[in-house]
Homo-oligomer: A and B are copies of this chain.
Amino acid sequence: MEPLLLFPDPPPPEVAQAIDRGGYPWKGVGSTQTAQGSEPIDGWAGAVVCADVDAEGAFALCRALRKRDVPLEPLLLVVRPEQLADLELREDLFDDVCLVPLRAGELDARIKHLFWRTGRGTRPELVEYGALVLNLETYQAALGGRPLDLTYMEYELLKFLATHPGKVFTRETLLSRVWGYEYYGGARTVDVHVRRLRAKLGEEQAHLIQTVRSVGYRFGQTRWGD
C-alpha cells in the first residue's frame, strides 16, 4: 500500500501513533517542496495534514496538493476546535476534519471511511469489463467511450453476462434469469439477442460473447481458453 502523507515533519506524536495503530504506512513531510520531492512512484494514498501548530503552512500545503493535475485524495485535516471557523472559506481544501485532542479510534475510523468513499463511495453504479461500461443508473452502455444504443432486452442480457464474466450459461438459464422465471418460449430467442449484441459490439469486440457449443454462452475472456 502506498504511504500516507503526514504534515508536519515530524508529525504530532498522538497523530502518528493513531495512524500506526491503524496499520497505515506514512511518510512525514515538512513543506510543499519536500512533498513533491519525496512523493512515491505510485503517488500518495492520501494525506493527513495537521494545522494545529503551523496553520498557514498546512493550508498552503493543502492548496498545493489540490492544485495538481491529479488532486490528492483523500485529505484529512487535523485542527484545534478554535480553528473550525477558519475552515469556512476553505471547504475545497479538505475532505474531512478531525479535532485535537484526538479521541480513541476517531482518526482511524475517519481514514477508513475516507478510503471507502474515494474507493467505492459516491460513484454511480457501474458494471465494467475491459472497455465495456454499463451505467445501471442511466441505463446506458458504452464501449471504449463510444455509447452503445441497446434495446431493453439487449441491455438486460449484456448486464447479466457482464456481471458474471467467464461463466457459462445455458439458454434455459439465461431465459429464466434475464427474461424471468415464468418465461416460456423458444430457446433460440437467446441466440438472436446474442447475435444482435455481437453486431452492436462491433467486429472488434464481438468475441466478448463466446459460444460454448452444446452448452450455451459465456462472456469475457478465459485465461487459458481461447
Q: Give the interface of A toward B (CB within 8 A).
A: 81, 84-85, 87-88, 91-92, 94-97, 99, 103-106, 108-110, 112-113, 116-117, 121, 124, 133, 135, 137-140, 142, 145, 147, 151-152, 166-168, 212-215, 218, 222-224
Once A116-B91, A213-B152 are accepted as A-B contacts, the answer to whether A84 and B105 lie under 8 Å apart by CB is yes
- Residues on B with beta carbons closer than 8 Å to the beta carbon of A106: 81, 84, 99
Smallest Cβ distance from A218 to chain B, in angstroms?
A: 6
Once A91-B112, A113-B91 are accepted as A-B contacts, the answer to whether A147 and B84 lie under 8 Å apart by CB is no
Once A113-B91, A113-B97, A222-B147 are accepted as A-B contacts, the answer to whether A166 and B138 lie under 8 Å apart by CB is yes
A84 to B121, CA, bound (A): 18
Q: In the complex the two chains form, is B140's CB within 8 Å of A112's CB?
A: no
- Residues on B with beta carbons closer than 8 Å to the beta carbon of A224: 133, 135, 142, 145, 147
- Residues on B with beta carbons closer than 8 Å to the beta carbon of A113: 87, 91, 94, 96-97
A151 to B211, CA, bound (A): 12
- Residues on B with beta carbons closer than 8 Å to the beta carbon of A81: 103-106
Smallest Cβ distance from A225 to chain B, in angstroms?
A: 9
Smallest Cβ distance from A152 to chain B, in angstroms?
A: 4
